[in-house]
Each structure stands twice: as structure tokens, then as C-alpha cells.
Amino acid sequence: KNEVEQSPQNLTAQEGEFITINCSYSVGISALHWLQQHPGGGIVSLFMLSSGKKKHGRLIATINIQEKHSSLHITASHPRDSAVYICAVRGGNLIFGKGTKLSVKP
């Protein structure tokens, strides 16, 4: 079983929809990261969190340490949000999920 599982693997949405991407992990962690990989391959860090909730613009990340689960929400989605979203956890090592590919249609 992978230590970090993301769902869904692929997601297609219409512009304006509310989007949720999930990340579950099986190890004890000290931090969880959300990253965005653009279609051209560039990677940008979105959030690092160890508890609670963080918000940046239309993006919201939450984490529930007891349930070993984090969610990334995108409000009022836009085609420019189309990317792969990657979750990573910092336990004994730094382990990444395989990503969720999001496509937002106009």
C-alpha cells in the first residue's frame, strides 16, 4: 500500500465549479505539502501545513491529523487552474503522492 494516496487521479470540471482534491497518508507526519505542476512541467509549492487550515486566494488547504487526511479546495475554478496537484508528507522521509490531474473547461 502506498504511503500517500491521492483521489481522484483525474478530475474534469467546468469553469466556476468548486473542486476538492483529497490526500490520505498512512504514516505519522510533521508536515504536509501541496504542490502544483503546470502543463509545461514547472512545479510550484502552494501550501505547507501541519494542522488546521490555510487559505491563499481561491485555494484552501485543510488537514486532519487524527484522520491522516488533507484536502485541497479550489473555489470558482478557472481554466488556468488546470494542472497536476501533488500532495507530499514529511514523516521519516519526504514522500509524494502520484498527483491529481485537474482539467477545467471554459
Q: Which residues bind other proteins (CB under 8 A)?
A: 30-31, 33, 35, 41-45, 48, 86, 88, 90, 93-99
> What φ, ψ does residue 35 adopt, rounded to 5°?
-125, 155
Gap between the Cα atoms of 49 and 82, Å rounded: 23
Q: Which is nearer to other proteins, 5 or 17 (CB)?
A: 5
Cell matching residue 36: 502544483
Smallest distance from other proteins to CB 78, Å: 23
Ranges of H-type helices in the chain: none
Cell matching residue 31: 508536515
Smallest distance from other proteins to CB 31, Å: 6
Q: Which is nearer to other proteins, 48 or 73 (CB)?
A: 48
Q: Which is nearer to other proteins, 77 or 85 (CB)?
A: 85
